[in-house]
Chains A and B, each alone.
Chain A
């Protein structure tokens, strides 16, 4: 079961996701990137049905890009989150997307923000959020150790505590995680936490 979690620090937000691609009892790969860069200053970590995850997050990413091309200005994180929720809500009673999303972004006027969007189109603006079986451990650890305005170092420490809990306590724990960060300088990969290294795939 996939784990995605995130938290807001002082002038930045962090999103963490496990990187296993699972198909029934088979582990396809352990370096799957489930956190998409929505635009220069937004991250979208997604968990759920693999096909839906790729399809939906790419759809949102391209619509965010289209908005910027059409209108010359980027969407705010709040607007992107509400748009995403709207798309999930529209599809919900016909052909639902089974995707849970943690959307984090940095806006110049309002700073960092994080949005919890689940597959039945709930939307919550939060300081910390988590999905998956790992959320039982992530939320408990974050409830215990989270503070507002943490530095990057403190936040990554907390992230590592969470990863350690998931690894040690979840029966089929994902071995590897990717950490991405977004701040005034943009959204980017921060680090990987790997206990198993896949051989790199040679591009065909």
Chain B
């Protein structure tokens, strides 16, 4: 192994790889997974909570989902403290745009701006990359509903359905099989919960281990809604995914 090229983030290995970036992605591969699905009337984000304890105050804060601006939200996978920094950066970038243009920042521009920040940590400064992957869900008047995935290298692309975190490859291939282009938001919720239930390591699925959020239009305004635990439990029962993973339909 070319260990000599590991410790500096800002140099290539002889094979042309950036090891620190790859190691960051390794860290994310051990984190709680998140899935995003684009439907024609909204975007669905589902996340697996890794920190579950009865002692946790679950009232207001979320572990996986964050609102960046009125029209954009994101799901995170990876090192939470790194994620907080980037989420704040994204929020500032969105407000700075609105301050200059008095309009909401187009979703792709926000993603691109944040990814430019991430890229900087792979090229100069001598600081390690952020150990976070994001799924951005938003709406703007140019392209309607959009879903973007970004990783520690600063790469991003738009997706119809995407998965990050542990078992993301299995989730991604499942999504590829079952995703249909004209999927509705309700079908997308069902698909996301089904895929997550199959790829999660835990033996049973309850609403405490999940977070579900949706981005959709209501009366012409973009709404970001996190599903309450009660409603989430009902959905899990409705879609038949509360059984242990081995028996899931």
Partners in one complex: yes
Instruction: Write the residues of chain A forming the contact surface with B, with a CB cutoff of 8 angstroms.
Output: 71, 73, 75-76, 78-79, 82-83, 86, 109
Count, chain B residues at interface, CB 8 A = 10
Q: What A residues does B106 contact at CB under 8 A?
A: 71, 73
Q: What A residues does B103 contact at CB under 8 A?
A: 76, 78-79, 82
Number of A-B residue pairs, CB cutoff 8 Å, is: 21
Of B101, B109, B142, which one neighbours A83 at CB under 8 angstroms? B101
A35 to chain B, nearest CB (A): 23
Task: State the CA gap A71–B103 with chains docked (Å).
Answer: 15
Q: What A residues does B141 contact at CB under 8 A?
A: 109
Task: State the CA gap A83–B98 with chains docked (Å).
Answer: 10
Q: What B residues does A109 contact at CB under 8 A?
A: 141
Task: State the CA gap A76–B104 with chains docked (Å).
Answer: 12
Task: State the CA gap A78–B101 with chains docked (Å).
Answer: 8
Q: What B residues does A71 contact at CB under 8 A?
A: 106, 108-109
CB of B109 within 8 A of CB of A82, answer no
Task: State the CA gap A86–B101 with chains docked (Å).
Answer: 8
21 sample A-B contacts, Cβ–Cβ < 8 Å, listed by A number: A71-B106, A71-B108, A71-B109, A73-B106, A73-B142, A75-B101, A76-B103, A78-B102, A78-B103, A79-B101, A79-B102, A79-B103, A82-B100, A82-B101, A82-B102, A82-B103, A83-B100, A83-B101, A86-B99, A86-B100, A109-B141
Q: What A residues does B109 contact at CB under 8 A?
A: 71
Task: State the CA gap A83–B103 with chains docked (Å).
Answer: 10
